[in-house]
Structure 1
Amino acid sequence: MSEAIAFLDLPGGRTLRGYGPFRTTNVVPAGATAFYRNDFGLTAEEPWHIPERWELVERSASPLPAIPDCVWDAPDASAFATVFQEVSAAIRAGIFEKTVPVAVERGLMAADPGSILLAAAAASSEPLLGYGYTDGSTGFAGASPERLFSLTGNVLKTMALAGTARTEERDVLAVDEKEIREHEYVAQSLVAKLGDIGRVRRGARGIMELRSIVHFHTPIEVDLYQAENPVSLIRRLHPTPALGPLPRTPETMEQLIAWRRRLGTPEGFGAPFGAMVEGEFHAIVAIRGVWWSGRQIRLPAGCGVIEASRLVNEWRELRLKREAVKARFGW
């Protein structure tokens, strides 16, 4: 199937679907419906993709389609361990408080997926938000638990999502000092980034349940003092410390991107993927997904590393996240 397709689940039980060919531009499309697609470093010259036609539909549960079988190769533990040791050394040296290395599992599908992986991602249900894009031979698709932000009028809604455990360890997560500390890094950083552009209301920390895994989750809402451009908000918020470095500087971003590339991370993993529709802008963080070219597929997962982190625990968390993605796609 050669037709270009994009979709994004929106708040309120809606889904935006766009059909190509897509016209790209570097200008926020006034009055138009468009998807926002960029890489982790926000280097795309024309990130706005305007579809030839689009539809806004009610999100509805659908059965998981038949997905081509996939033969997986385990990620390189030694390569990740080397990066983890470099991250830990940088934290001890005071360069980082926290950062997020990524491990990538590779696979070979039995057949070209076409748009079938988008259909599988669209079969997810809330609180997950399905997303995807394909040009027929390459693409990405997933079901993200993390909203970067939604902008409706002068109200911005975002969230802190960090801290992970198996569902059966939910009660332990609630009192895990390391996971709480990691979550607070993210929540406090978001509040600090937003305090000068509006009145910030931080909700109570809770737990988001996603079948096999759970995460700490804190909702954050901002009444903006004035209208804000979605692109300026993306640059203010991306990447959050849930996916990026703390502190976030040009130097720490450059180092994180270098680590990601050494480990074969897709450029779009953890990047913002969003849509402008009916005067609103909504963007998710592109995680819990797969990236493919032909039958070759990559499944990345990241872990937040702080001073208290230990390699064996982080490696276990990465596997847990990848297993959740595989289950989502029926592998």
Structure 2
Amino acid sequence: MSSDSFAFLDLADGRSLVGRGPFASSAKPPHDGVAFYRNDFGLTSTEPWLVPQHWEVVGRNEVAAFIAETDGVPTCNWEPPDASDFAAIFQEISAAIRTGTFEKTVPVVVERGTLEEPPGHRLLATAAGSEEPLLGYGFSDGISGFAGASPEQLFSITGTILKTMALAGTARTEERDVLAVDEKEIREHEYVAQSLVSKLGDIGRVRRGPRGIMELGSIVHFHTPIEVDLIGDESPAQLVRRLHPTPALGPLPRTPETLQQLIDWRRRLGTPEDFGAPFGAILDGEFHAIVAIRGLWWHHREVILPAGCGVIEASRLVNEWRELRLKREAVKARFGL
């Protein structure tokens, strides 16, 4: 892997892990030290662990300086997504829900753009320095990469404590009071929270916190914290497979068939393979992983901005299309695009 490659991940305690390449790919994490975890949405990588040549733990506000990119983000010319492609898949999903194949699933729409010049590591530097509750992340080989600031932690393990969250249900900040009583959004959130609790019940004692609202500038989400006192010795990779994709990004029920159908829908809409996938790192025996959303994917000058929406029986096409635009606008504002 290129010596120009670079990765970073914000940790939940206000620090960030940064790593510089070349990265050595491995099927298993090292017994000690540091490795990043990168996989695609279908978890098909046989060597998801990336061991950096050099690494360091720094404050969040120091990551951009560590990347050493001083120029701003290049201007981007965007092409609006085609609503007809999404509408066709939305109708297929609605039909599958009516027949009982799905209770919920999450299609993704992408907006494409062209940067005036290749960004190098500049998009990583822009994603760095996120304020809580956002968790910045990114990987770049100097030509291609992805970077963002995710509101969703897949899970973290410190000692015998696993922490995760249900994050689903979206509205504009000025509609916060309406979100709090919106039955459709509450139902969508409960699908996610209850599914997570059921997936974790056989590996430890589960504690579900109260549903609250996470504020993210222009948008808000329902948020429920979940903790588990682990009783077994499952590896991070095993726990990733247990939890990913949560119903916030994946199908409910989650079976090989429903997951493959969702992947097929994602591919038809041009979704990057690792959008919504886990991106994480192991450090001093602790593991932290975010869900790679609210970000950009690029190759040379071409850039893709994906966004997903949870579709249930009560969903309506125009409302979901509006939510997708809202999420994309938040990403553009974060990157100054």
Same fold (TM over 0.5): yes
Which residues in structure 2 correspond to 1:1-331 (within 5 Å)? Answer: 3-60=4-61, 66-331=72-337
Residue deviations 1:77-110 (CA, integer Å, cap 9, x gap): 1000000000000000000000000000000000
1:114 and 1:137 in contact (8 A); partners too: yes
Distance in 1, matches of 2:190 and 2:101, equals 19
Closer, same or farther: CA 46–77 of 1 in aligned 2, 3 Å: same
- Cα-Cα RMSD: 1.3
1:159 and 1:219 in contact (8 A); partners too: yes
2:158 and 2:286 in contact (8 A); partners too: yes
SS in 2 for 1:60: helix
Distance in 2, matches of 1:285 and 1:53, equals 24
1:2: how far off?
6.6
1:147 and 1:285 in contact (8 A); partners too: yes
Distance in 2, matches of 1:304 and 1:108, equals 28
**Alignment identity in percent?**
73
Distance in 2, matches of 1:126 and 1:118, equals 17
Of stretches 62-71 and 248-257 in structure 1, the one that deviates more from structure 2 is 62-71
SS in 2 for 1:18: strand
Distance in 1, matches of 2:71 and 2:94, equals 42
Give 2:135's aligned amino acid: L
1:66: how far off?
1.5
SS in 2 for 1:321: helix
Distance in 2, matches of 1:189 and 1:65, equals 44
1:229: how far off?
0.3
Of stretches 28-37 and 216-225 in structure 1, the one that deviates more from structure 2 is 28-37
Distance in 2, matches of 1:215 and 1:152, equals 26
Distance in 1, matches of 2:297 and 2:114, equals 12
Distance in 1, matches of 2:3 and 2:92, equals 42
What residue ranges of structure 2 are gaps of 5+ in the alignment?
none
SS in 1 for 2:46: coil
1:153 and 1:227 in contact (8 A); partners too: no
1:256: how far off?
0.1
2:60 and 2:129 in contact (8 A); partners too: no
Give 2:290's aligned amino acid: I
SS in 2 for 1:231: helix
2:112 and 2:302 in contact (8 A); partners too: yes
